[in-house]
DNA sequence: TTATGTGCAAAACATTTGCAGGAGT
DNA sequence: ACTCCTGCAAATGTTTTGCACATAA
């Protein structure tokens, strides 16, 4: 008899989740690695990637596939949207109403089986809007 | 006196743009490379990357920062949204109305200077919805 | 003629993976 | 005990870059 495979509660996983819950900055895998390493100096980057991926698959956290070169992770799992600074790459939550109706519209406009959507705004954050050298891409 | 720097019309650029105009598949840089190489066998992948980036900066084409591991490029520059298959990674245009009002909402909800937004739907394409092994991430 | 662009190859990043030993249940 | 997980290091995949030569204007 095979029991269903369960995700073990390892120290590494606990601490990754704890650290992710502490911040609202949508860190990249490498930033999570840096945060976690302060408490678990011997953790490997591979472990961080594996666990972030696993936690995203099981719905404990969100993997943000926003623009830029790296994936980002978010412990806030309620549906919400993001805004990314084109200058410095920072990603913030943006509190506007979730467009519940557009999945329906999308279903009518395509052959796809719609599973969800994400809106990403782009712009300049307060810090970068001031120091005003025309935004670079990314 | 310095004339404004201009983008030279090289054979490579012409052909990259022509090939991109031929398709509606939002190819990755590597796919563009393959397409272009049939006509210009000695072109380098670096040249393709450099030119796609440059053409995106000047607004001739769109660089799509959608989910998945690679950036994609689109010769359709009118604002429009996309849908990505979670199973096979394909990206299609989706013809729903552009939400003109949400940039305004975003401006009120954040400190950012809003420059734009993009909506990415996720789901299963016709091919993948049929062969129904639970979608993998990406 | 000369600044800009190209091909090529190496470098730089981001992410994934194989494996031998370690730890949760 | 018996998997599943981890650290480490190597491999993979994507994009960028340095440089000597070529070419559009």
Mean pLDDT, contiguous 10-residue spans, chain B (138 residues): 72 98 97 98 98 96 94 96 92 94 96 96 91 46
SS3 letters across A120-137 = EEEEECHHHHHCCCCCCC
Q: Provide the CA B50 to C1' D24 distance, Å, integer.
A: 18
CA angle in degrees (0–180, nearest 5) for A58-A59-A62: 125
| Residue located via tokens 């623009």 | A67
Residue nearest to nucleotide C3 (CA to C1'): B5
Res A100: pLDDT: 87
| More confident call, A29 vs B87 | A29
Res B101: pLDDT: 92
CA dihedral B98, B104, B107, B113 (to 10 degrees): 70
Considering just the CA atoms, what is the radius of gyration of chain B in Å?
18
Gap between the terminal Cα atoms of chain A? 51
In the structure encoding, which two tokens stand for residue A20, read together? 């992710």
Res B57: pLDDT: 95
Nearest nucleotide to A2, CA against C1' atoms: D3
Residue nearest to nucleotide C24 (CA to C1'): A8
B83: contact with A, CB 8 A cutoff:
yes
Nucleotides of D under 7 A from a protein CB: 3-10, 13-18, 23-25
- Give the Cα separation of A44 and B63 in Å (integer): 33
B88: contact with A, CB 8 A cutoff:
no
Check whether A138 has a pLDDT greater than 80.
Answer: no
| Residue located via tokens 């994609």 | B72
Q: Which residues of B touch A85 (CB under 8 A)?
A: 112
C-alpha distances out from residue A138 to A25, A39, A67, A71, A118, Å? 17, 32, 7, 13, 18
Reduced to 3 states, what is the DSSP secondary structure of residue B83? strand
Check whether A48 has a pLDDT greater than 90.
Answer: yes
Question: Which runs of consecutive H residues, i.e. helices, occur in chain B?
Answer: 11-22, 29-37, 45-57, 102-109, 126-130
Nucleotides of C under 7 A from a protein CB: 3-10, 13-18, 23-25
Q: How far is A118 from chain B (nearest CA, A)?
A: 5
| Residue located via tokens 């809106």 | A119
Res A2: pLDDT: 45
pLDDT tens string A54-113: 999 999 999 999 989 999 999 999 999 999 999 888 999 999 999 989 999 999 999 999
Q: Is the CB of B60 under 7 A from strand C?
A: no
Res A135: pLDDT: 43
pTM here?
Answer: 0.89
Q: How far is A100 from chain B (nearest CA, A)?
A: 12
Residue nearest to nucleotide D17 (CA to C1'): B46
> Mutate which of A53, A64, A65 to disrupt the B interface (most B C-beta within 10 Å)?
A65
Query: Do residue A96 and residue B106 have CB atoms under 8 angstroms apart?
Result: yes
Res B130: pLDDT: 75
Res B131: pLDDT: 65
Q: How far is B91 from chain A (nearest CA, A)?
A: 11
Query: What residues contact residue B76 under an 8 Å CB cut-off, 6+ apart?
Result: B24, B62, B93
Res A111: pLDDT: 95
User: Which residues of B, range 29-58, sit inside 8 Å of A by Cβ?
Assistant: 53, 56-57
Q: Which of B53, B106, B122 sits opposite A121 (nearest CB)?
A: B106
Q: Which domains does chain A have, with CATH numbers?
A: 1-76 (1.10.10.10), 79-138 (3.30.1490.190)
């Amino acid at each position: 008899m095979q029991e269903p495979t369960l995700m073990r509660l390892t120290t590494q996983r606990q601490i990754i989740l704890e650290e992710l819950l502490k911040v609202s900055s949508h860190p990249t895998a490498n930033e999570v690695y840096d945060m976690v390493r302060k408490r678990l100096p011997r953790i490997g980057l591979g472990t961080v990637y594996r666990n972030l991926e696993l936690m995203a698959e099981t719905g404990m956290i969100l993997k943000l596939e926003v623009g830029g070169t790296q994936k980002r992770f978010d412990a806030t799992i309620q549906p919400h949207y993001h805004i990314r600074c084109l200058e410095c790459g920072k990603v913030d939550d943006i509190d506007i109403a979730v467009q519940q109706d557009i999945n329906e519209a999308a279903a009518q406009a395509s052959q796809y089986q719609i599973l969800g959507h994400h809106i990403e705004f782009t712009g300049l954050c307060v810090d970068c809007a001031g120091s005003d050298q025309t935004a670079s891409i990314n």
